[in-house]
Amino acid sequence: MTDLSQPAADIHTEAQPEATPASVAPPLWLLAELTYRCPLHCAFCYNPVDYTNHNRELSTEQWLGVLREARALGAAQLGFSGGEPLMRDDLEVLVGEARKLGFYTNLITSGVGLTDKRLGDLKAAGLDHIQLSFQDSTQELNDFLSSTRTFDLKQRVAASIKQHGFPMVLNCVLHRYNLPHVDKIIDMALAMGAEYLELANTQYYGWAHHNQAQLMPTREQLEEAEAVVERYRRTHGDRCKIFFVVPDYFERRPKRCMNGWGAVFLGVAPDGAALPCHAARALPGLVLPNVKDMPLREIWYESDAFNRFRGLQWMKEPCRSCDEKENDLGGCRCQAYLLTGDAANADPVCDKSPLHEKVVDVTRLAAAAHEPREQPIMFRNDANSRKLTGAHAPQNKVQKTAHDEPNDNGHTRG
């Protein structure tokens, strides 16, 4: 999951945004989800569980068009993500164009496929930054949670990233299994020379929502991990900047999700669907515009999907009359839908929500469970995606397009 709280980076050239409607700021951050293909099978992947239904990828030319339009709109930071973006053999071409346009670029990767040759080519193309994921500090848990044998490979890749002179963020998603290892995870990041460590507690969308019973930690685990992080911050200073992204299930006020719907974030999925947030595909009735059918400018400023929860007008009670609504903007729309069945409800993390008990119940269950592996984990893979898609009616509509055909890269599988 992308952390919008990380500091804005230097941009290579001055943005030249086109004239914009007065009340809506242009996007700052473009996330290009190049593919849903991925060699890993993480139990907490934020990709939609029905990703096998959306596997027709944009072509190189179409992605180049997206980058140009986004930069003209004013976007300045660009994340290449997936799935695994290295599964696309045109990644270097896209990075080169992004550099020319003046984006600050970040590759968000599992490390699988990041050979010395590709690192050299990406450096030459102008890539600025790499975010490498680990699942744990131990081989056993790293490999179990990703359902692959990738721990040793990730270690080698981390060393190569530093040898090529890239700034590196190590990212580790936290949950019940690995929270007790936070000290070892920090030691690993320090030993690898990472400039940043993002300890992102699991957000329960996508695959993590299906595995919530197994992944949800206890309050005690979180408090102990936070204390460990504080201790390292005191003893190691700025040698590695540690971000600890807290899970809001244990809070009484919701997070300002995505820094506001349609405020700074613009995602584009592998098939060209434009996303106001990573998990928007799960919201029923939200017709996602597609970059193959509509200019990005029109998508950002005029589409129903990007305007649906923008600002404060859409709010119902208790948010509408709440004096904190401008701080949290009602919280997370996807969480509101997943827990209450209506995306326009208050995020039930808020204790002013009449449905707050639903959140409390989830954390109570986690506190009562002793063995998280009792139930089988649903790993992210094509077979499970089809099984889950069959088990649930299609959750939203993506606009049909006349161009909805296999692309010229042959990238057609999910």
Complex with ligand FES: residue 254 or 272, whichever CB lies closer: 254
Q: Does 277 bind ligand FES (CB under 6 A)?
A: yes
**Contacting ligand FES (CB under 6 A), which of 334, 349, 350, 366?**
334
Nearer to ligand FES, 122 or 208 (CB): 208
Picking from 107, 100, 54, the residue whose alpha carbon sits closest to that of residue 80 is: 107
Measured between alpha carbons, how far is 327 from 321 in angstroms, rounded to an integer?
13
Query: Judged by CB under 6 A, does residue 216 bind ligand FES?
Result: no
Amino acid identity, residue 308?
A: R
Q: Pattern of binders to ligand FES over 285-324, x per CB under 6 A?
A: ----------------------------------------
| β-pair type (274-275, 265-268) | antiparallel
Piece in contact with ligand FES (CB under 6 A), picked from 101-109, 141-149, 162-170, 276-284: 276-284
74 DSSP assignment: T
Window 146 to 205, contacts with ligand FES (CB under 6 A)? 205
The candidate with the shortest Cα–Cα distance to 91, out of 77, 78, 72, is: 78
- 257 in contact with ligand FES (CB under 6 A): yes
CB of 114 to ligand FES, least distance (A): 28
45 neighbors 82 (Cβ within 8 angstroms):
no
Helix ranges (H only) for 238-285 are none
Measured from the CB atom, the residue of 58 and 257 that comes closer to ligand FES is 257
Q: Is 42 assigned a ligand-binding role in the annotation?
A: yes
Specify the residue, 123 or 256, whose C-beta has the smaller distance to ligand FES: 256
Least distance in angstroms from the C-beta of 283 to ligand FES: 8
Q: Which amino acid is at 41?
A: H
Q: At what angle do helices 357-368 and 333-340 cross, to 10 degrees?
A: 80
Residues 6+ apart with CB under 8 A from 305: 274, 276, 280, 286, 287, 288, 289, 299
The answer to whether 45 is annotated as binding is: yes
10 Å Cβ neighbour count for 18? 10
Q: Does 51 bind ligand FES (CB under 6 A)?
A: no
**Whether 300 contacts 21, CB under 8 Å:** no
Among 333, 339, 346, 379, binds ligand FES (CB under 6 A): 333
Please count the CA atoms within 13 angstroms of the CA of 131 that sit on its side-chain side.
22
Of 228, 332, 349, 398, which one interacts with ligand FES (CB under 6 A)?
A: 332
**Amino acid identity, residue 259?**
N
Q: Does 258 bind ligand FES (CB under 6 A)?
A: yes
How far is residue 317 CA from its own chain's centroid?
A: 29
Closer of 114 and 257 to ligand FES (Cβ): 257
Q: What angle do CA 332, 336, 279 make, to 5 degrees?
A: 60
Asked whether position 49 contacts ligand FES by CB under 6 A, the answer is no
How many residues touch ligand FES under the rule CB under 6 A: the total is 10
Shortest gap between Cβ of 200 and ligand FES (angstroms)?
A: 13
Residue 319 annotated in ligand binding: no
**Feature table: binding site for [4Fe-4S] cluster:** 38, 42, 45
- The residues binding ligand FES (CB under 6 A) are 205, 257-258, 277-280, 332-334
